[in-house]
Structure 1
Amino acid sequence: MKKPGKPPFSRAKDGDRRPPARNVPASPRNAGKPLAGSDAAFRRPAPDLAVIYGGHAVREALRANRRKCLDLFATAPALERLQAELADRDVKVHVVAPETLDARLGAEAVHQGLLLEARPLPALDITDIEVKSGLVLALDQITDPHNVGAILRTAAAFAVDGVIVTERHAPDFSGVLAKTASGGLEHAPLIEVVNLARALDQLGDAGFLRVGLDSEGSASLEDTVLSRPTVLVLGAEGKGLRRLTREKCDVLARLDMPGAIKSLNVSNACAVALTLARQALNQQA
């Protein structure tokens, strides 16, 4: 594991961007005024681009500066609210009508007048995890973008050191997920692995306590003795943790609910688990 303080993220190369669209003026570095643009500039993105929409998601993508931001499609009022974030960013700006964004994203999408096309986040590996908070999340085939987005938002709020997902059973990290994460996608280090069981082996070898959240756990999470660093492993709703994932955990713990409802949505369960784990680790400090 890398020592605290070492920058974990590799930057995208400056040349890693698409050629500018024809007949569309590029924005200056200091975007003081909305640029003239047309709906014709609003085209389907290439497959290797992430589509991010919504006020918080777009603003944090620009602020965090972890990914290469290429084209911003915005209504004039929404663009006015982003002048500070655009001041030092080389992003091509297109002023479009709200209906153009509706046509692209669908009438149900709450885009708030903003859509950003950008490169995917830099790829991270297990070895890129920097132990700071002492907490990592591992998601065992949680595929619903709303749940994963909410988990990433919570992870960013708790400053977790990493969120591990599997490559084949995870949602696309843009669109609905990025909107639900409300900017958390840009701040929670995301690590995609081919094999979660192997990743848990690596974490165990690195000194992580592996705690699987399971309704059939032998002890409650509140009564479980945690050590720093800890990885909390969450399973998909309904399915829970897979057998091999359970076997790789050092402890299986449950969340005890005192009320009439005994189960929580996985994203809510994640928030409760992080709260309890953070309290337990802080008491040891």
Structure 2
Amino acid sequence: MQLIYGFHPVTNAIKSGRAKKIILAQGDKRMTSMNTSSLAVDYWQKPRFDAKFPSANHQFCAAECSSLVFQDLASIADQTPSNISNTSTKTNKKARPPIYLALDGITDPQNMGACIRSAVAFSCSGLILAANNSAELNAACVKSSAGMIEHLPLIKVSNLERSLHQLQDQGFWLVAAAGQGEQTINDIDCQRPLVLLMGSEGKGLGRLLIQRSDYVCRINISAAVDSLNVSTACAVMLHHIRLQQTA
């Protein structure tokens, strides 16, 4: 079970079916418009929230939820170019190429949550995480994502470099975001299934991951700024990819 806090995380957990019990402050009526008849409801005095979630913006709202579910890498097979082409032909509608976000070395839960929020905002098909080098998807991460973690397929892999190689074999192109990149995202063809690879602001991406990538792209920023926070860089990259795909 996972205990989360914050109004948007709780309401999204209710919508996704992950919430099992709602915890509200005495007299709180904010959930009356939602279908919560099947959920247990507990009421706390407000000081109890401050004691349970010190220094957190809990908004006097919490929920006990089932654990997050992780998918297998094989689930991405449904997003391979051949399957996308077949789906487009049947519906007579051109499908937008999928984007998966892969994060390496993001160990701060707030940064992880903000990246997840951006991934949902730009309709990513899923999030790929290294099992041994990633922030815990805890309550702080869920809060930072504004509950958007409930709407993003999660894939955890034991070896990120090997898994990315496997996706390349399936027809995905790997785009690494790095300051040393010789191209920008606008210099490459984004009309294809992509995996966007982001590293931590401090260490960046490892050498093997950069070598594995089909493209290494930078973001053009002012010389007065050393780098962008990873969640900001993630949003910028995804925005430019989607702009190109919808042009």
Place the TM-score, normalised by the shorter chain, in its bin: 0.7 to 0.9
Is residue 120 of structure 1 aligned with residue 72 of structure 2?
no
Answer yes or no: is the 8 Å Cα contact 2:97–2:194 preserved in 1: no
Q: From 230, 242, 258, give the equivalent of 2:206.
A: 242
Q: Does residue 1:51 correspond to 2:15, yes or no?
A: no
Structure 1 unmatched ranges of 5 or more: 1-48
Query: By how many angstroms is 1:77 displaced?
Result: 4.2
Contact 1:72–1:116, Cα closer than 8 Å, also in 2: yes
Counterpart CA distance in 2 for 1:222 and 1:142 is: 25
Which amino acid counterpart does residue 220 of structure 2 have in structure 1?
Answer: D
Which residue in 1 is equivalent to 2:87? none
Tell me which of 4, 12, 15 is aligned to 1:63: 15
The equivalent position to 2:43 in structure 1, one of 79, 92, 95, is 95
Moved more, 266-275 or 162-171: 162-171
- Partners of 2:31 and 2:183 lie apart in 1 by 48
| Distance of 2:58 and 2:119 partners within structure 1 | 23
Q: CA RMSD in A?
A: 1.6
SS of residue in 2 equivalent to 1:85: coil
Structure 2 equivalent of residue 217 of structure 1 = 181
Q: Match of 2:5, as an amino acid?
A: Y
Higher Rg: 1
Structure with bigger helix share is 2
Cα distance in 1, alignment partners of residues 224 and 186 from structure 2:
19
**Map 1:108-187 → 2, pairs under 5 A:** 108-129=55-76, 130-131=78-79, 134-187=98-151
Whole-Å Cα distance in 1 between the matches of residues 191 and 150 of structure 2?
27
Deviates more, 1:146-155 or 1:254-263: 254-263
8 A contact 1:75–1:97 mirrored in 2: yes
SS at match of 2:52: helix
8 A Cα contact 1:50 1:173, kept in partner: no
Structure 2: which 5+ residue stretches go unaligned? Answer: 80-95
> Take 1:141 and 1:261, find their aligned partners in 2: how far apart are those partners?
22
Match of 1:72 in 2: 22
Question: What are the superposed Cα offsets for residues 63-121 of structure 1, whole Å, 9 maximum, x if unpaired?
Answer: 122x3x2222211344x111233435x32111111111111111x11111111111112
In structure 2, C-alpha distance between the alignment counterparts of 1:137 and 1:103, rounded to whole Å: 36
Matched, 1:85 2:34: yes
Deviates more, 1:109-118 or 1:252-261: 252-261
Give CA deviations for 1:135-161 in whole Å, capped at 9, x if unaligned: 110001211111110011111111100
How far the C-alpha of 1:55 sits from its partner, in A, is 0.4
Give the TM-score of the pair, scaled to structure 1.
0.76
Give 3-state SS (helix, strand or coil) of 2:241's partner: helix
Tell me the secondary structure at the aligned position of residue 182 of structure 1. coil
Distance change (3 Å), C-alpha of 1:237 and 1:258: closer
CA distance in structure 2 between the partners assigned to 1:56 and 1:62 by the alignment = 10
- The secondary structure found in structure 2 opposite 1:138 is strand
Q: 1:71 to 1:234 in 2, by over 3 A?
A: same
**Distance in 1 between residues matched to 2:49 and 2:118, nearest whole Å:** 28
Aligned-partner Cα distance in 1 for 2:206–2:43: 48
Task: Report if the CA contact (8 A) 1:139-1:164 is conserved.
Answer: yes
Q: Secondary structure of the equivalent of 1:72?
A: strand
Greater relative contact order, per chain length (Cα 8 Å cut-off, separation 6+) = 2
